[in-house]
Structure 1
Amino acid sequence: MTDTREELATKIDITDWLSLRAHLERGGVILVDPLLDLAEVGAALAADEVQKVQRWLSSSLLAKPSIEQIQTWDAEQGKIFNCLIISPYVLIQEPVNP
């Protein structure tokens, strides 16, 4: 999984909320808590590590965006996210300010 994680780390991109909106409409957007490593989450999904993913879901470290979050992001012009595509999902994570 380390090789997959390293490979996925190179595929993390930055995009704005408007570009992610189409993926939201089809239910493909998953919000990743900043406590988690985006590439590690992607690797776990790609490897079908059900128990690990289930643990994150039950801890609310992975979740579908809430209606409130979506409304907030819609109102913010140019809201930026780190993103990683693990088909059919788009993992998004709010960048942590230094």
Structure 2
Amino acid sequence: MKPTKEELALQVDVAEWSWLRAHLERGGLIVVAPELEIAEVGERIARDDTAAVGGWIEAGKLSKPTDGQIAAWDADGAARFSTLIISPYILMKEQ
């Protein structure tokens, strides 16, 4: 059974960049654009909604962290993110 948006919303947590950085090497981080709701994105990924997810990727609303973002987060020891684990990925949205 696939999780609902409401169930996933209860699993959203806050993480510091230093906690997430280790997942960068394995390619497991996905940056969610500010205008998207992280629980909805998680639900669409869990349900294999390729149309919605593909549209977000094409529009640049879902992406891997860029070198510029990584450098900025490395420099900012206080960077925090809303996170949601949708195995094997960790969705992250800058706060």
TM-score (norm. length: structure 1): 0.93
**Matched position secondary structure for 1:65:** coil
What are the residue-to-residue correspondences of 1:7-86 with 2, within 5 Å?
Answer: 7-86=7-86
Amino acid at match of 1:74: D
- 1:78 Cα offset (Å): 2.1
**Matched position secondary structure for 1:93:** strand
The share of aligned pairs that are identical, in percent, is: 48
CA RMSD, aligned part only?
Answer: 0.8
1:88 pairs with 2:88: yes
CA distance in 1, matches of 2:90, 2:79: 16
Amino acid at match of 2:50: V
Amino acid at match of 1:84: L
**Matched position secondary structure for 1:81:** strand
CA distance in 1, matches of 2:20, 2:84: 11
CA distance in 2, matches of 1:4, 1:89: 17
TM-score (norm. length: structure 2): 0.95
- 1:56 Cα offset (Å): 0.1
Unaligned runs of 5+ in 2: none
